[in-house]
Copies of this chain bind each other. A is one copy, B any other.
Amino acid sequence: MAPSTIESQNTKPEAPAFPEKQTVQPLDASKLTYTYTTNPRDVPDEATANSGDETICTDHMVVATWKASTGWSDPELKPYGPLNLMPTASCLHYATECFEGLKVYRGYDGKLRVFRPDRNAARLNMSASRISLPQADPDEITKLIYALLEVDGAKWLPKERAGSFLYLRPTLIGTQPTIGLVKSKQAILYIILSYMPRQDTPPGGMRLLTSPEDMVRSWVGGFGYAKVGANYGPSVLATQDAMQRGFHQILWLYGDQGECTEAGGSNFFVVWRRKDGKKEIITAPLDDRLILDGVTRRSCLELAKERLCDEFEVTERKYTIGELIEAEAEGRLLESFAAGTAWFVTPVSAIQHRKHDIAIPTGPDGGPGEVTDKIKGWLSDIMYGRTEHEWGIVVSERE
**Chain A residues with a Cβ under 8 A of chain B:** 53-55, 57, 61, 80, 82-88, 90-97, 99, 129-132, 167, 169, 171, 173-174, 176-183, 185, 190, 192, 194, 196-197, 214-216, 219-223, 228-237, 239-240, 265, 342
Judge whether B87 and A190 touch: CB under 8 Å: yes
CB pair A192 B87 closer than 8 Å: yes
Q: In the assembly, what is the distance between CA of A197 and CA of B179, in Å?
A: 11
Q: Is the CB of B57 within 8 A of A88?
A: yes
Q: Are A178 and B55 in contact (CB under 8 A)?
A: yes
Instruction: Select A179's contact among B167, B174, B182, B234, beta carbons within 8 Å.
Output: B167
Most buried by B among A132, A185, A240: A132
List 13 contacting pairs A-B, 8 Å CB cutoff, sorted by A. Answer: A55-B177, A82-B86, A83-B84, A88-B192, A91-B92, A93-B169, A93-B171, A95-B97, A95-B232, A95-B234, A179-B196, A182-B240, A183-B240
Residues on the B chain within 8 Å of A83, using CB: 84-87, 92
Q: Which residues of B lie under 8 Å from residue A130 when comparing CB positions?
A: 234, 237
B234 to A223, Cβ gap below 8 A?
yes
Distance in angstroms between the alpha carbons of A323 and B303 in the assembled complex = 52
Complex CA gap A55/B185 in Å reads: 13
Decide if B173 touches A169 in the complex (CB within 8 Å).
no
Chain B's nearest CB lies how many Å from the CB of A243?
9
A92-B91, A222-B216 are known contacts. Are A233 and B132 too (CB-CB below 8 A)? yes
- Say yes or no: B239 contacts A181, CB within 8 Å: yes
Contacts of A239 in B (CB 8 A): 181
Residues in B whose Cβ lies below 8 Å from that of A91? 91-92
**Quick one: given A97-B92, A99-B93, A232-B95, are A179 and B84 in contact (CB under 8 Å)?**
no
A195 to chain B: closest CB distance in Å?
9
B82 and A234 contact, CB distance less than 8 A: no
Nearest chain B CB to A237's CB is how many angstroms away? 5
A69 vs chain B, min Cβ distance (A): 10
